[in-house]
Amino acid sequence: MFKRYRLLNPVLKIIRSVLDLAAPKNISSLWRFGSLLGVCLITQILTGLFLAIYFASDITLAFDSAVYISRDVNYGWLIRAIHANRASIFFICLYVHTGRGLYYRSFHYIEVWSIGITLLLLTIITAFLGYVLPWGQISYWAATVITNLVSSVPYVGTDVVSWLWGGFSVSNATLVRFYAFHFLFPFLIAALSLIHILYLHQEGSSNPLGINSSNDTIKFHPYFTTKDLFGFFIIWLILGIIVLFSPNLLIDPENFIPANPLVTPTHIQPEWYFLPIYAILRSIPNKLGGVIGLIMSIAILYFLPLYIKPTFRSSAFNIINQLVFWAITARFTILIWIGSKPVETPYEGIGITFTVIYFFLFLILAYTRKLPNNILI
């Protein structure tokens, strides 16, 4: 009997190493969003597994199976509402986590940052694949519009689109492919998250000062586990309020209509967490240019570690970096609003303006590395 429990020793060692991890004394509550993302990912995987039991990946059954889950499966409405609304909380935590790394310049931990941006890209792709599965009007047309963008890639674009579609248009084969990838990608995200944490433990957490604080640390448990538990309680409270009082608050009403290839919605817009990159996509008149702009809106974050490391890396001590960061945050918020509006005057012009500003701000951020380190508040 005791031999059985020896199998738990590696797991116990990992848990003990996490609890005994030396963490900087001065890290704030903004550092808890990494653990919140872990909770969100576990919740999405577990609820997704339950939904996969009843979901039918067939265009004639997908919409009805989603309705069946909500109406006839015991607590199916609850599981589906948690899965759908937790995605929004997931992206809130993801954007705050990335923004914190940008503000405090944590991107100088190159391996941790690079894997983190890869996780951001994979999460966006996974969320898009899942958005298509209910096979409502917006789901179908979002799949049609986004996958058709790949055809703008020279030489191979048309072939790649045909492979994604499994034919000459979005069809049953497309739904099966998206379902398979949406099921598998969360496990890939979980594996990369473990690697992300492994590199984080090697490098050590950053801190608001942006300096090496290896000689001024405390144990992760109980000082930061209590903060994390409080964060878990808050996000579950928020999720509970949304799920129990307004579970369809963040769902487009058009998506309650079965997909109809013969009727195009008057205004196609994705979920709110896709709106900034969607606004960039449609603000560039050229199709290929729009695809490049969409990819670079996220991929540009990979280049941030190339900046020179000053003594004080944190933006908390540099007014120029602060202004650039809050300008990027304001641009992000405005593009969420622009992405939800139709492509017409004045929204089209505003979208183009703030798309240019977005990339220009990163050029300013690159220029600030040449400024003296003593431009402090």
| Residues annotated as catalytic (active site), given as ranges | 201, 205, 227-228, 271
Strand partners for 217: 24
C-alpha distances out from residue 86 to 188, 205, 241, 344, Å: 19, 26, 12, 32
- Burial classification of residue 11, based on how many CB atoms lie within 10 Å of its CB (0-12 exposed, 13-18 middle, 19 or more buried): exposed
Two tokens, residue 293: 């702009």
Say how far apart CA 247 and CA 130 lie, in whole Å. Answer: 17
User: If we measure between CA atoms, which residue out of 290, 274, 250, 266 comes closest to residue 128?
Assistant: 274
User: If we measure between CA atoms, which residue out of 34, 21, 17 comes closest to residue 220?
Assistant: 21
Pairing of the two strands 217-219 and 22-24:
antiparallel
Peptide bond into 285 cis (omega under 30): no
Rounded to 10 degrees, the C-alpha dihedral 138/181/122/190 comes to 130
At residue 203, what are phi and psi to the nearest 5 degrees?
Answer: -80, -35
Two tokens, residue 73: 């499966």
Helix axes 110-132, 172-203, angle to 10 degrees: 160
Supply the DSSP symbol for 217. Answer: E
Helix, strand, or coil (residue 167):
coil
